[in-house]
Amino acid sequence: MAIITVPYTDINATMRGIRTQVIDSIDYVCANIPRYRNPEQMFNQLKQMIQYKNDPPGVELLQSVPTLLEDNYWGTPGAGDCDCFSILVLTCCLCNGWNEQEIVLAGRSRLAPVHIWTRVKFNGKWYDMDLTQPYINTVRPYKHIQKLPV
């Protein structure tokens, strides 16, 4: 498992890094994180495991789930930002068999998003899983929103 720390270039590089970290996290999550009855239960339990911490200045820090939870860059289990939390949610959804997901990119312009979160479809309903928010299905307003299927 690894931490990807590179100078921030663009959202495409970040998306490739997120994909790599999700793939690297699947075995760990499927073996070590419980299965959930529904997205709300997942959100509430994951929320208790994380703590928001900004990336170092000028760096895109993407932590795999085992790194986020056990060998954290910051030395604090669960410390990360929205892209680290998206890696966690995406991987947990996959291990639960919830395979219809979207990544949401948000910001003031389409070319420079400043926030990311995950949506998952469960029993025909979409759930916003933004672990930077206090509750499931709550999102901050942004001028531009892009939803990308996973």
What confidence tens digit (pLDDT) does each residue in 121-133 have? Answer: 999 999 999 999 9
Quick check: helix, strand or coil at residue 110?
A: coil
**pLDDT at site 5:** 61
Query: Helix H segments across the chain?
Result: 11-32, 39-47, 65-69, 82-95
Mean per-residue pLDDT for 51-80? 94
Asked whether the beta carbons of 127 and 46 are under 8 A apart, the reply is: no
- 78: tokens are 């669960």
* C-alpha–C-alpha distance, residues 144 and 111, integer Å: 9
Burial bucket for residue 1 (CB in 10 Å: 0-12, 13-18, 19+): middle
What would the pLDDT profile of 95-141 be if each residue is shown by its tens digit?
A: 999 999 999 999 988 778 899 999 999 999 999 999 999 999 999 99
CB of 146 within 8 A of CB of 105? yes
Phi, psi (degrees; rounded to nearest 5) at 26: -55, -50
pTM of the model: 0.93
Amino acid at 4: I
Domain ranges of the chain: 3-149
* Alpha-carbon gap, residue 19 to 149, rounded angstroms: 12
> What is the maximum alpha-carbon separation in the chain?
40
Neighbours of 142 (CB within 10 A): 15
Which residues face 116 on adjacent strands? 105
The CATH topology of domain 3-149 is C8orf32 fold (3.10.620)
Tell me the pLDDT tens digit for each residue of 76-89: 999 999 999 999 99
When the pLDDT of each residue in the chain is averaged and rounded to a whole number, the result is: 93
